[in-house]
Amino acid sequence: MIDMKFLFVGDIMPGGVLPYQDKYIDETLLDYMMSFDFRVGTLECGVGTDISFDKKKMESTKSIVFVRDCDLKRVVEMKFDIVSLANNHAFDLGVDGIKNTIKQLDDLGIKHFGAGINIEEAKKPVVVQNGNQTIAIFGCLFDYRTPRIFHTATANEPGPYHTSIKEVSSYIKELKKKYDKVVVMPHWGEEHKYLQKSLFKSYAQQMIAAGADCIIGSHPHIINPVVRFEGKFCFFSLGNFLFPEKCMQVPRPMYYPKTAEECRSLKRMWTYPQKIAEPIVAVWKPKNRIGMMVEMDVSDCIKTRWHLVCLTADNILHRYFSTIVRLRMKFWAMLLHMPKYDMLYRLHNSRFNLVKRAVDKMRAFNIPVQL
């Protein structure tokens, strides 16, 4: 049996300021990506040209993230084969937007999961076969969010697959009866935090107990620890992959200036989670510019290893190497396995954690980013 080589990456939003510059990815990284049989990522945006913003989202956070149809060319150029649509921005352009996203991906030959025209389509996995071996990959959001600020798929309505850990565990058991391997891509956790609540540790353990062979998470927009439960890997968050800075209009939705000069003239600032008083370019903090790539070799068993990427100040994606980041990842993973993790989590995220506060002020572990 020939091994299948997958490359999993974090959140992708192939628009923002990218249309106003000539380059967005380093050629060395692109060549590396081409060495895999399958490339998989989370497409965290609505897709549509001249489609109205989702009314429910505009009545709540007003945080609209979208790309135009033409911006998907970058996903094609990076040769992504499969994308997850299980995220809180997939429905930002409403019903017309989610339908257009699905149509555009279908027309481009890019397989997708995690959202659909109804719940059955949204939960359906993408299945990859190699000889007699099959790998099912599916994505979901969990129902810990209260109140819910986005639409979700139902029996008769489109949206992302939004469900409970109990239902997901049952679904994994069902898939394991049909397929050899099951990979879950949950969109979960708290944004901009390196360590997550014990709730998500429990979710990971329950999914692996149900039969999941690997968990690859997203949503926090920064990398999270890599841990093993019962010999199976859980990547809590791969952070951002190609998710550049974006132009925002009042009060918070994205927009696309008519010219590159207009884009370059906008004030640049970190906005999360505040509303804005004038059009700006929303920049990422240095810690949000580091992402993770997971190599997955699938034969009789699943073998993984991970590498880093970095989005530079000029919004170009590069491979990145950092011993310090790797040591911090090991430290976080060690904390996750400790019996008093709840207490450690609260201490780590406390405003009295002076060490964490000092480290967070450092310039992204010597990343060549000047904000």
pLDDT of res. 270: 86
Report pLDDT for 61.
87
The 10 Å Cβ neighbour count of residue 37 is: 15
CB 72 within 8 A of CB 108: yes
Residue 299 has pLDDT above 60, yes or no: yes
pLDDT digits (tens, 9 = 90+) for 27-62: 999 999 999 999 999 999 999 999 999 999 999 889
| Contacts of residue 231, Cβ cutoff 8 Å, sequence gap at least 6 | none
Q: How far apart are CA 41 and CA 309, in angstroms?
A: 14
Residue 123 pLDDT > 80, yes or no? yes
pLDDT of residue 274: 73
Alpha-carbon distance of 93 to 55, in angstroms, equals: 9
Question: Does pLDDT of 185 surpass 90?
Answer: yes
- pLDDT value, residue 364: 43
pLDDT band per the 50, 70, 90 thresholds, residue 150: confident
Containing 209, the helix (H) or strand (E) segment is helix 198-210
Reported confidence tier of residue 146, pLDDT bands at 50, 70, 90: low
pLDDT at 197: 92
Q: What is the mean pLDDT of residues 85-99?
A: 96
Q: Which class for 352: exposed (0-12), middle (13-18), buried (19 or more C-beta within 10 A)?
A: exposed
| Residue in 279, 275, 307, 276 with CA at minimum distance from that of residue 294 | 307
Confidence of residue 369 (pLDDT cuts 50, 70, 90): very low
pTM for the model: 0.94
- What are the residue boundaries of the structural domains of the chain, listed by start? 4-245+284-366
pLDDT cut 90: percent of the chain above it: 81
Q: What is the pLDDT of residue 353?
A: 80
Q: What is the pLDDT of residue 346?
A: 87
Q: Model confidence at 21, in pLDDT bands (50, 70, 90)?
A: very high
Q: Which residues contact 89 (CB under 8 A, 6 or more apart)?
A: 44, 45, 46, 63, 64, 65, 66, 150
Which pLDDT belongs to residue 370? 39
User: Within 13 Å of residue 213, how many CA atoms lie on the same side as its CB?
Assistant: 21
Helices (H), 1-142: 27-33, 55-58, 73-77, 94-108, 119-123
- Tell me the pLDDT tens digit for each residue of 229-238: 999 999 999 9
- CB-based contact 145:190 (threshold 8 Å): no
Distance CA 298, CA 129 (A): 11
Residue 354 reports pLDDT greater than 90: no
Chain segment 187-228, per-residue pLDDT in tens: 999 999 999 999 999 999 999 999 999 999 999 999 999 999
Confidence check: pLDDT of 363 > 50: no
Quick one: pLDDT at residue 361? 64
Residue 83 has pLDDT above 50, yes or no: yes
- Which pLDDT does position 1 carry in this prediction? 54
Is residue 351 very low, low, confident or very high in pLDDT (cuts 50, 70, 90)? confident
CATH of segment(s) 4-245+284-366: 3.60.21.10
- Give the pLDDT score at 273: 66
Compute the mean pLDDT over every residue in the chain, rounded to the nearest whole number. Answer: 92
pLDDT at residue number 132:
86
**% helix, strand, coil for the chain, step of 5:** 30, 30, 45
